[in-house]
């Protein structure tokens, strides 16, 4: 097992190898990696079974075990993911701006890879190939630190991908896995600013918070979604019910599902009882403020913390407001700045909401569930950024690049 420093140094070294790969080399290698996953299904499944058994023995919860599990279908899904990314346009080397500046110097602003990306994630072995595919296509070297419960699966997947890269004549160190499973190594890794350019944590709010607190490397925060729907007084009630039903119940465990309803006082009498009826089949539970609680029989009283909670469950908070300004300031206060939606027939309020809500994705009369890299036309997604620097909302290949200025002259000096 390579020590952490050597591993990070190797990653930095391969950054310059990645710079030399052209679009065709990257595409061909990714297609071969997809084939290799399929051809080595048995090896992956055998390794995954070790992890799965160990998980059962240590009493992992069913949801976590399900995410850990790999089978034929899931491995085919991983291979398909790599093929899809392989066939996307190369995001590197695109000229963003071009102009003649002082003394005839020719300036071009072109996209380049971010460099070396560190991905810290939980025990979901499919992330291993997904994250590699996106980083590789965008010209980045990648160092993966997956959850320790998936270590055998991650090693198997990484070994297969690295061998395939090697067969393609590409230095396999463009993809590396940190095999040590102790927390100290992860902490040390997050301080390797000299070698790693960006950290992207993928997983629970707790994981992300700990990375932000420990890391010296710049971090892109993803995935935390306390999403709101505001039903304005002029809303079409049926539309509001359809959207709430979809945003709350279609998939409860995802970051773009609704966690909190904000309702205008003048429409709550009509909306809330109808909503309770509509969501009854899903057995949704409510934490309602004092003005709305009597309209939702069975609701518990909301405490302040409820408005800041991402339930990821059949549970939602309900907040009453007197006007759109109060709705906007409530949402801006409690939101994680992921996705929010207004349901309204009032164009002025819709525009105000779009302008003043401080979130990555702001909707008018639509479900928050659309916040997704594929839906937004990015082709693929490494996560949904909830921070402000670099990238906001769904992050695709382009968001894994930065840029540089190339300036060509004929001997110019500055006056």
As beta bridge partners, residue 116 has 141
Our CB check for a copy of itself shows the closer of 256 and 292 to be 256
Query: In the window 301-330, what residues touch a copy of itself (CB under 8 A)?
Result: 328-329
Query: In the window 63-122, what residues touch a copy of itself (CB under 8 A)?
Result: 99, 101-102, 105, 107, 112, 114-115
Pairing label, strands 106-113, 95-100: antiparallel
Our CB check for a copy of itself shows the closer of 156 and 342 to be 342
Q: Quick one: which segment of 128-136, 166-174, 270-278, 406-414 binds a copy of itself (CB under 8 A)?
A: 406-414
Query: In the window 365-404, what residues touch a copy of itself (CB under 8 A)?
Result: 365-367, 369-371, 375-377, 387-390, 392-393, 402-404
Query: In the window 191-230, what residues touch a copy of itself (CB under 8 A)?
Result: 193, 197-198, 212-213, 216, 218-220
Q: How many CB atoms within 10 Å of residue 249?
A: 18
Each residue of 13-49: b (16+ CB within 10 Å) or e? Answer: ebbeebeebeeeebbebbbbbbebbeebbeebbebbe
Asked if 11 is part of the footprint of a copy of itself (rule: CB under 8 A), the reply reads no
Rounded to the nearest whole angstrom, what is the least distance from the CB of residue 163 to a copy of itself in the complex? 27
- From the list 251, 233, 209, the residue with the least C-alpha distance to 63 is 251
Query: In the window 267-306, what residues touch a copy of itself (CB under 8 A)?
Result: none
What's the alpha-carbon Rg for the chain, to the nearest Å? 24
CA 319/CA 324 separation, integer angstroms: 12
Binding map of a copy of itself across residues 15-34, x = CB under 8 A, - = no contact:
xx--xx--------------
Q: Which of 211, 363, 381, 386 binds a copy of itself (CB under 8 A)?
A: 363
Q: What are phi and psi of 292, to 5 degrees?
A: -100, -15
CA 192/CA 215 separation, integer angstroms: 9
Rounded to the nearest whole angstrom, what is the least distance from the CB of residue 191 to a copy of itself in the complex? 9
Our CB check for a copy of itself shows the closer of 298 and 411 to be 411
Q: Which residues, 6 or more positions from 127, have their beta carbon under 8 angstroms from its beta carbon? A: 119, 121, 146, 202
CA 358/CA 342 separation, integer angstroms: 13
Our CB check for a copy of itself shows the closer of 183 and 193 to be 193
Coil vs helix vs strand at 388? coil
Binding map of a copy of itself across residues 338-357, x = CB under 8 A, - = no contact:
------------x---xxx-
Query: In the window 237-256, what residues touch a copy of itself (CB under 8 A)?
Result: 239, 242-243, 245-247, 250
Our CB check for a copy of itself shows the closer of 12 and 69 to be 12
């Amino acid at each position: 097992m390579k020590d952490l420093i050597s591993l990070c140094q190797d990653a930095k070294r391969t950054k310059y190898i990645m710079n030399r790969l052209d679009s065709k080399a990257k595409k061909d290698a990714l297609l071969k990696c997809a084939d290799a996953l399929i051809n080595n299904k048995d090896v992956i499944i055998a390794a995954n079974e070790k992890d799965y058994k160990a998980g059962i023995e240590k009493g992992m919860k069913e949801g976590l075990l399900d995410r850990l599990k790999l089978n034929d279908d899931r491995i085919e899904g991983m291979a398909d993911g790599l093929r899809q990314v392989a066939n996307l346009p190369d995001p590197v080397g695109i000229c963003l701006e071009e102009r003649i500046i002082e003394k005839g110097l020719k300036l071009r602003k072109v996209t380049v890879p971010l460099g070396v990306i560190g991905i810290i994630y939980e025990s979901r072995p499919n992330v291993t190939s997904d994250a590699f595919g996106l980083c590789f296509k965008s010209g980045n070297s990648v160092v993966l630190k997956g959850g320790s419960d998936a270590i055998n699966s991650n090693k198997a997947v990484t070994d297969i991908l690295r061998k395939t890269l090697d067969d393609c004549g590409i230095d396999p160190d463009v993809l590396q896995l940190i095999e040590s499973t102790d927390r100290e190594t992860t902490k040390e890794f997050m301080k390797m600013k000299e070698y790693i350019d960006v950290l992207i944590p993928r997983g629970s709010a707790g994981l992300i918070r700990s990375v932000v607190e420990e890391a010296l490397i710049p971090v892109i925060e993803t995935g935390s979604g306390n999403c709101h729907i505001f039903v304005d007084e002029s809303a079409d009630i049926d539309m509001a019910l359809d959207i709430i039903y979809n945003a709350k119940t279609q998939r409860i465990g995802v970051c773009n599902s609704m966690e909190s309803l904000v309702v205008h006082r003048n429409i709550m009498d009509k909306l809330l009882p109808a909503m309770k009826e509509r969501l009854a089949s899903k057995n949704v539970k409510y934490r309602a403020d004092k003005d709305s609680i009597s309209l939702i029989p069975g609701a518990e009283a909301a405490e302040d913390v409820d408005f800041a909670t991402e339930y990821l469950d059949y549970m939602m908070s309900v907040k009453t407001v007197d006007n759109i300004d109060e709705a906007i300031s409530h949402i801006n206060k409690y939101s994680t700045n992921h996705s929010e939606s207004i349901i309204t027939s009032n164009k002025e309020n819709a525009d105000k909401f779009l302008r003043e809500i401080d979130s990555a994705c702001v909707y008018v009369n639509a479900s928050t569930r659309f916040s997704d890299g594929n839906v937004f036309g990015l082709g693929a997604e490494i996560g949904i950024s909830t921070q402000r620097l670099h990238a906001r909302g769904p992050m695709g290949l382009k968001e894994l690049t930065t840029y540089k200025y190339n300036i060509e002259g004929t001997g110019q000096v500055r006056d």
